[in-house]
Amino acid sequence: MGKFDLYKVDLKGMQQDVQKYEYLLDNQFFTNIDGEEIQKGKVKISLTVTKKVGMFSFAFNLNGTVVVPCDRCLDDLDLPIETTARLIVKFGKDYSEESDEIVVIPETEGVINLAWFLYEFVALAIPIKHVHAPGKCNKQMTTKLKKHSARSADDDDSLEMEGADDLILTDDGQDEEKTDPRWDALKGINEE
Protein backbone atom coordinates (compact mmCIF):
# COMPACT_ATOMS: atom_id res chain seq x y z
CA MET A 1 0.00 0.00 0.00
CA GLY A 2 1.42 3.40 -1.04
CA LYS A 3 1.71 6.45 1.20
CA PHE A 4 -1.31 8.12 -0.37
CA ASP A 5 -3.61 5.19 -1.24
CA LEU A 6 -5.97 6.33 1.51
CA TYR A 7 -6.74 9.46 -0.57
CA LYS A 8 -7.84 7.60 -3.70
CA VAL A 9 -11.49 7.91 -4.72
CA ASP A 10 -12.86 5.27 -7.09
CA LEU A 11 -15.36 7.15 -9.25
CA LYS A 12 -16.14 4.25 -11.57
CA GLY A 13 -17.13 2.07 -8.63
CA MET A 14 -19.31 4.72 -7.00
CA GLN A 15 -22.63 3.05 -6.13
CA GLN A 16 -24.58 6.08 -4.90
CA ASP A 17 -25.13 9.51 -6.39
CA VAL A 18 -23.73 11.15 -3.25
CA GLN A 19 -20.79 9.74 -1.29
CA LYS A 20 -19.18 11.21 1.83
CA TYR A 21 -15.55 10.83 2.95
CA GLU A 22 -13.60 11.97 6.02
CA TYR A 23 -9.83 12.53 6.09
CA LEU A 24 -7.40 13.65 8.77
CA LEU A 25 -4.21 15.28 7.54
CA ASP A 26 -1.63 14.89 10.29
CA ASN A 27 2.11 15.44 10.70
CA GLN A 28 2.83 12.19 8.86
CA PHE A 29 0.80 13.33 5.85
CA PHE A 30 2.65 16.65 5.63
CA THR A 31 6.02 14.88 6.03
CA ASN A 32 5.15 12.38 3.29
CA ILE A 33 3.86 14.97 0.83
CA ASP A 34 7.14 16.91 1.27
CA GLY A 35 5.69 20.32 0.42
CA GLU A 36 7.64 23.49 1.14
CA GLU A 37 4.93 25.51 2.84
CA ILE A 38 3.72 23.14 5.59
CA GLN A 39 5.66 20.56 7.61
CA LYS A 40 3.23 19.88 10.48
CA GLY A 41 -0.45 20.17 11.19
CA LYS A 42 -3.75 18.52 11.94
CA VAL A 43 -6.54 19.29 9.50
CA LYS A 44 -9.87 17.46 9.31
CA ILE A 45 -11.45 17.25 5.87
CA SER A 46 -15.04 16.43 5.05
CA LEU A 47 -15.64 15.59 1.41
CA THR A 48 -18.92 15.15 -0.41
CA VAL A 49 -18.73 13.68 -3.91
CA THR A 50 -21.85 14.15 -6.05
CA LYS A 51 -22.28 12.18 -9.25
CA LYS A 52 -23.78 14.30 -12.05
CA VAL A 53 -24.23 13.75 -15.77
CA GLY A 54 -20.75 13.53 -17.29
CA MET A 55 -18.90 14.73 -14.18
CA PHE A 56 -18.37 14.47 -10.44
CA SER A 57 -18.58 17.44 -8.10
CA PHE A 58 -16.26 17.41 -5.06
CA ALA A 59 -17.07 19.74 -2.14
CA PHE A 60 -14.37 20.00 0.54
CA ASN A 61 -14.62 21.48 4.05
CA LEU A 62 -11.27 21.92 5.78
CA ASN A 63 -10.88 22.71 9.46
CA GLY A 64 -7.81 22.46 11.69
CA THR A 65 -4.39 23.89 12.45
CA VAL A 66 -1.07 23.95 10.60
CA VAL A 67 2.38 24.82 11.91
CA VAL A 68 4.44 27.26 9.86
CA PRO A 69 7.47 29.43 10.73
CA CYS A 70 6.74 32.96 11.94
CA ASP A 71 7.92 35.53 9.39
CA ARG A 72 9.40 37.66 12.16
CA CYS A 73 11.11 35.31 14.65
CA LEU A 74 11.13 32.00 12.71
CA ASP A 75 9.64 30.05 15.66
CA ASP A 76 6.76 27.66 14.97
CA LEU A 77 3.40 29.35 14.67
CA ASP A 78 0.07 27.53 14.90
CA LEU A 79 -2.31 28.88 12.27
CA PRO A 80 -5.98 27.93 12.26
CA ILE A 81 -7.31 26.75 8.90
CA GLU A 82 -10.98 26.92 8.02
CA THR A 83 -11.94 26.95 4.36
CA THR A 84 -13.94 25.28 1.64
CA ALA A 85 -12.90 24.19 -1.81
CA ARG A 86 -14.44 22.51 -4.81
CA LEU A 87 -13.26 20.38 -7.66
CA ILE A 88 -14.99 19.09 -10.79
CA VAL A 89 -13.74 15.76 -12.13
CA LYS A 90 -14.57 14.51 -15.61
CA PHE A 91 -13.67 11.35 -17.49
CA GLY A 92 -11.54 11.68 -20.59
CA LYS A 93 -8.80 10.03 -22.59
CA ASP A 94 -5.79 11.32 -20.61
CA TYR A 95 -5.15 13.10 -17.33
CA SER A 96 -5.25 16.89 -17.57
CA GLU A 97 -6.07 19.94 -15.48
CA GLU A 98 -8.34 22.20 -17.51
CA SER A 99 -8.42 24.89 -14.81
CA ASP A 100 -7.90 25.31 -11.07
CA GLU A 101 -11.21 23.57 -10.42
CA ILE A 102 -11.61 21.15 -13.35
CA VAL A 103 -9.62 17.93 -13.69
CA VAL A 104 -9.92 15.26 -16.36
CA ILE A 105 -8.90 11.70 -15.43
CA PRO A 106 -8.55 8.68 -17.74
CA GLU A 107 -11.88 6.86 -17.96
CA THR A 108 -10.02 3.55 -18.12
CA GLU A 109 -8.69 4.11 -14.59
CA GLY A 110 -11.67 5.90 -13.06
CA VAL A 111 -9.71 6.71 -9.88
CA ILE A 112 -8.40 10.06 -8.61
CA ASN A 113 -5.84 10.50 -5.85
CA LEU A 114 -6.67 13.61 -3.84
CA ALA A 115 -3.50 13.84 -1.70
CA TRP A 116 -1.83 16.70 -3.59
CA PHE A 117 -5.14 18.56 -4.04
CA LEU A 118 -5.74 18.38 -0.27
CA TYR A 119 -2.27 19.74 0.41
CA GLU A 120 -2.81 22.61 -2.03
CA PHE A 121 -6.18 23.52 -0.49
CA VAL A 122 -4.54 23.76 2.93
CA ALA A 123 -1.55 25.72 1.60
CA LEU A 124 -3.82 28.19 -0.18
CA ALA A 125 -5.74 28.82 3.05
CA ILE A 126 -2.60 30.10 4.78
CA PRO A 127 -2.40 33.90 4.86
CA ILE A 128 0.51 35.51 3.04
CA LYS A 129 1.80 37.11 6.24
CA HIS A 130 2.10 34.78 9.22
CA VAL A 131 3.40 36.35 12.42
CA HIS A 132 2.77 35.82 16.10
CA ALA A 133 0.42 38.15 17.94
CA PRO A 134 2.18 41.26 19.30
CA GLY A 135 4.45 40.31 22.19
CA LYS A 136 4.36 36.56 21.43
CA CYS A 137 7.46 36.33 19.20
CA ASN A 138 10.72 34.81 20.45
CA LYS A 139 12.24 37.55 22.66
CA GLN A 140 15.87 36.74 21.74
CA MET A 141 15.16 36.87 18.02
CA THR A 142 13.14 40.08 18.35
CA THR A 143 16.03 41.71 20.25
CA LYS A 144 18.53 40.67 17.56
CA LEU A 145 16.20 41.91 14.84
CA LYS A 146 15.87 45.31 16.53
CA LYS A 147 19.63 45.50 17.07
CA HIS A 148 20.38 44.92 13.40
CA SER A 149 17.56 46.98 11.94
CA ALA A 150 17.69 50.14 14.13
CA ARG A 151 20.14 52.93 13.28
CA SER A 152 21.99 54.69 16.09
CA ALA A 153 23.14 58.31 16.07
CA ASP A 154 26.67 57.19 15.10
CA ASP A 155 25.23 55.48 12.02
CA ASP A 156 23.47 58.71 10.99
CA ASP A 157 26.75 60.67 11.20
CA SER A 158 28.62 58.14 9.11
CA LEU A 159 25.84 58.17 6.51
CA GLU A 160 26.06 61.95 6.25
CA MET A 161 29.82 61.79 5.72
CA GLU A 162 29.44 59.11 3.04
CA GLY A 163 27.10 61.40 1.10
CA ALA A 164 29.62 64.28 1.23
CA ASP A 165 31.45 62.93 -1.83
CA ASP A 166 28.37 63.69 -3.93
CA LEU A 167 28.41 67.42 -3.05
CA ILE A 168 30.34 70.07 -4.97
CA LEU A 169 30.78 73.75 -4.23
CA THR A 170 29.44 76.21 -6.78
CA ASP A 171 31.09 79.52 -7.61
CA ASP A 172 28.93 81.33 -5.04
CA GLY A 173 29.94 78.92 -2.23
CA GLN A 174 26.65 76.98 -2.13
CA ASP A 175 26.62 73.19 -1.82
CA GLU A 176 25.17 71.54 -4.88
CA GLU A 177 24.59 67.83 -5.38
CA LYS A 178 26.40 66.18 -8.31
CA THR A 179 24.06 64.47 -10.73
CA ASP A 180 24.58 61.96 -13.45
CA PRO A 181 24.60 63.95 -16.73
CA ARG A 182 22.43 61.30 -18.40
CA TRP A 183 19.54 62.38 -16.16
CA ASP A 184 19.95 66.11 -16.77
CA ALA A 185 17.85 65.92 -19.94
CA LEU A 186 14.87 64.73 -17.88
CA LYS A 187 15.00 67.52 -15.31
CA GLY A 188 12.65 69.84 -17.18
CA ILE A 189 10.09 67.22 -18.17
CA ASN A 190 7.66 68.11 -15.36
CA GLU A 191 7.84 71.83 -16.11
CA GLU A 192 6.29 71.55 -19.58
Q: pLDDT tens, 123-165?
A: 999 999 989 888 888 888 878 877 877 554 444 444 444 444 4
**Does 97 fall in a domain?**
yes
The residues with which 111 forms a beta bridge, in sequence order, are: 10
Domain count, the chain: 1
Residue 28's domain comprises 5-124
Q: Is the pTM of this model over 0.85?
A: no
Cα–Cα distance, 120 to 26 (Å, whole number) = 15
Cα–Cα distance, 189 to 183 (Å, whole number) = 11
**Does 168 fall in a domain?**
no
Which are the contacts of 135, defined by CB distance < 8 A and separation ≥ 6?
none
**Does 87 fall in a domain?**
yes
- pLDDT at residue 169 is higher than 90: no
**CB pairs under 8 A, 24+ apart, for 142-148?**
142/72, 142/73, 145/72, 145/73
